Structure 1
């Protein structure tokens, strides 16, 4: 992976497959995945469709995160975090990360993103800042519940699941707003 890899200093984990009908690995988000809430024209804040397979044996649940390490914050920007997805689930529909989490399976819940909202928030890189990468990751965990509260931050989720991560499936999308 390229510079500023959010997983470079974490323990290695098995890799498995993540695909999306919304975006291909390395491709740009559509306007549906840009943020109207942050004022991007035609942005819709629609979470991507995700399908995964080949998770490591012993997987008891999943978490999904969407993170922009290129945000000009010094700490990146968490766009979405979902915990406690049951192990029997292998897909989330497009739009699952709306305000109510309507497309999430029973037992799963959304944490507050860096905008303070428990939902998916789309891309909104500063105009002229260059391309941003969005790490869409499905984390395979060895516990049925990762044990974080719904009001925890995505960083707390990441810290808590670090000792329970069996595998990671990674898809990287991009976004850029010209100056």
Structure 2
């Protein structure tokens, strides 16, 4: 049993996300603010972290990737609310982002179609056994996720729900 856990002071696992987290584009009118996240209990040998945000319920046939962040230093155990701007300037040494499925760099909040049951937004922190992924220039999020998967020692997840 792993002691690797991911939590947020803004919501508990399986609880609703807040409107402030909603995407502010297409027909979404939120503030596109990422929630604060914190993790603990990463396995020995962790050399960096990555974070992904995925909606498996999106009506695309393959879900929807809302945030892909990697190269987070192994000493980092939390991300403040509101990180994930498109230019990454708010991250400091907290990692590198690639384009999400909106086509934007950074955090892209929930924006499920109106009137559907709540979608699941799965935040996953990946403890990686390498300090850097060694990626080519301008990789797609699928390539980054492949390299994350190949180097993951353990994961911890936190799921928020969102409905419009």
Unaligned runs of 5+ in 2: none
**1:65: which partner in 2?**
52
Distance 1:36 1:105 in 2: 24
> C-alpha offsets along residues 150-171 of structure 1, whole Å, 9 cap, x if unaligned?
6323222221122211010100
- Given the alignment, which residue of 13, 24, 48 partners 1:36? 24
**1:54: which partner in 2?**
41
Query: Does the CA contact (< 8 Å) of 2:76 and 2:94 recur in 1?
Result: no
Number of aligned positions between the proteins: 164
1:108 aligned to 2:99? no
Distance 1:133 1:91 in 2: 22
What is the TM-score with the length of structure 2 in the denominator?
0.93
User: Secondary structure in 2 aligned to 1:127?
Assistant: coil
**1:96: which partner in 2?**
83
Distance 2:161 2:125 in 1: 17
**1:153: which partner in 2?**
140
- Using a 3 Å threshold, how does the CA distance of structure 1 residues 59 and 152 change in structure 2: closer, same or farther? same
Distance 1:146 1:161 in 2: 7
Unaligned runs of 5+ in 1: 1-12
**1:24: which partner in 2?**
12
Q: After TM superposition, which residue ranges in structure 1, 4 or more long, deviate above 4 angstroms?
A: none
**2:156: which partner in 1?**
169
